[in-house]
Chains A and B, each alone.
Chain A
Amino acid sequence: MGQALFYLYAFIACGGAIAVVLSQNVVRMAFWLVISLCSTALLFFLLDADFVGATQLLIYVGGTVVLLIFGVMLTSSGPYRGIQNSPGEMVQSGIIGLAFLALVSSTVFSVDWSGNNTLLAKSLNAESHEHHGHAHPHDHEHGDEHGHHDHDEDATVQYGYNAPSSGNTTRSLGAALLGVRFDKDYQPEAHGDEHGDHSVSTGYLLPFEIVSIHLLVVLVGAAYLARAKRRVDVRNV
């Protein structure tokens, strides 16, 4: 089931992305972008990355695309509504796209996925997952995930609806933001290090704050630029 869903969502994501390129109307492009981004979010959910999937929905689908359509609606006249590409532009963008594809695929093929899989399997209690050999280690779709969790009977008791490994990334992410890495610092095997004691990560709070301040500065700058005309009037008066 998880595999089938993966292929379904991957197909929809790719098809939506192609439709974005092929459609001529800007609003339809935005719509296909929504389809593509939503299925990307669903792919994140398949990977048990629930927080990242929700963020994808909130920021890209709920935020960015709505703003995009809003902008199109405000300026929806003349040349911006329908986009006709000249052959030269098609060739240019095709070259750029192919170059990017080559870059991405070379990166994908250069990664040692088998080593990665063993690492994943170790951290995910390998024996409990039947098919973890792919990029989506636990096949998880809410509602029918239990079809894959036949091992749950041998565990003592199964409490709650979700399996313990599913849908619970938020707390770990929040703790990691503050510098507490449950997966690294508090692993039992981390005790026998050459350092003697486990090392605590530094966290991402400071970079996060720097980025937010940066975005705030950008926002203020945009507001300043948008108000520039009115400032001239004030000075003249």
Chain B
Amino acid sequence: MHWFLLVTTVENWIKSGSVWPLNLVFGLAPAGVWAAILHTAMVGAFFGLPAFVFIWAERKVAGRIQDRLGPTRVGGRFGWLQSLADGVKLIQKEDLAPNAADKMLFRLAPYIVVVSSFAAFMFLPFSEGLVAVAMDAGLFIALAVLSVEVLGIVLAGYSSGSKWSLFGGMREAAQMVSYEVPLGITAVIPVVMAGTLNLGEIVQIQSGGAQNWFIFSNPFTFFAFFVFFTVTLASNKRAPFDLAEAESELVGGFHTEYSGMRWSFFFLAEYASMFFVSALAAILFLGGWWTGIPQIDNALASLAESSVGGLYLLRVFGMKVLLVKAGLMVFVQIWIRWTLPRLRIDQVMTTCLKYLVPMSCFLFLGAVLWPLVLVTVTGQTTLHKTWFPPVGERVPVPARVEQHHETPAEADSATENESSVSTTIRAEANRAVATLDSVAGGDQ
């Protein structure tokens, strides 16, 4: 199982010659192809399994909040296999399309939703180096891919040939177009603080203890986290913003006419996106895969520096920490859904345009100006970095700039160096040397 979690080295592992039964299989195609297949399988697991669990959790939490038991029978205790039973039921259902529907778009719309939600997981780092595609524009491209999801929902609403669906789709479009603005502005706040769009680097900068998490960095980011969380609720169509599928008014909203697997695709994508935005919030504001306890984080980081086994431990443990954080936030989303009543569409738009957008702009300005004010008053950029410095790969910005001025050849390597994410901590020192050798002045 060792190779399975050290995904950044899957290809090297395959190339290095594997044990007997596996080398027959891996010999059939280039190592890169197998690495791609393994990554796809892993991303698929991360896409499907949380959705599986959270659909069950939704029923269970809803039951408890409404003083019911929720599912109790399927799977022995607690009804933990209820999602599987749902899935089996949905597969058996007939795939219907209304006569008035635009058949082609009606059939394609669920796939757009699922594919965009799935593709967003490619850019999500689950732990130190545990990411399918590590790129500099990680956050940007994740949000870009996720924003395609709304297109499928709008198309579903339009092509169903039903007034309920059309209303649901229109509400979703109006809501998404508005809520993308505060979502972008609040997501940019950690980016500005970290100086990078790379999700892995954003987490590394928050290492070294909970006081380094961006949510505790300054008062503005503290509130920015809650604004971000609210906006992600809306962008996932979760209550109280679930206007697109308002059951009490629109029957089922955009998915009124869907049945069977196509209907379940919408829900799979919804729960997967809930998990995705929660993990994104954890990465941007809550320290990602670091526990926030300096002793544990430091111990893990030094273990990872000293041995491959330690690195493995850091990755597995970090993944679990991130899953726990994201799972807790999904729980809060479910809790909110079954506690708060649904807003009207005008209230939804008012919340966004009159409150969330100005708030996020103000918080953005504040978070940008805070370090400047702090520097002029106290002489340091943060209040507490001196006590618990980050243990990760943080390169202080002044040092980086200085490096540019020293020797031109190193300027490229500094950027390249930082850009190759999912690097190992223990290789920090000789990596600089390695990139110096390999880059040799060529940019990109």
Contact = CB atoms under 8 A, between A and B. Distances in A.
A70 B443 contact: no
Interface residues of A, number: 65
Given A66-B151, A157-B434, A186-B404, A27 B158 contact: yes
B401 to A, nearest CB: 10
A162 B444 CA distance: 12
Contact of B176 (A50, A66, A125, A155): A66
B408 A187 contact: yes
Contacts, number: 216
Given A66-B147, A73-B170, A164-B419, 11 more contacts: A54-B137, A54-B140, A66-B150, A144-B30, A146-B35, A158-B12, A168-B135, A168-B416, A171-B419, A175-B415, A187-B408
B424 interface: yes
A73 B166 contact: yes
Given A25-B102, A50-B135, A62-B147, A165 B159 contact: no
Chain B interface mostly helix, strand, loop or mixed? helix
A38 B152 CA distance: 14
B344 interface: no
B108 interface: yes
A157 B430 contact: yes
Interface string A146-165: 11100000011111111011
Given A157-B430, A159-B423, A70 B174 contact: yes
Interface string A163-175: 0111111111001
Contacts of A189: 441
Contact of A186 (B8, B105, B412, B424): B412
B144 interface: yes
A31 B159 CA distance: 11
Interface of B: 7-8, 11-12, 30-33, 35-36, 39-40, 102, 104-105, 108, 122, 129, 131-137, 140-141, 143-145, 147-148, 150-151, 154-155, 157-159, 166, 169-170, 173-174, 176-177, 180, 196-197, 404, 408-409, 411-412, 415-416, 418-424, 427, 430-431, 433-435, 437-444
A48 B444 contact: yes
Given A67-B177, A73-B154, A164 B140 contact: no
B200 to A, nearest CB: 9
Contact of A143 (B132, B136, B158, B443): B132
Interface in A114-147: 123-125, 142-147
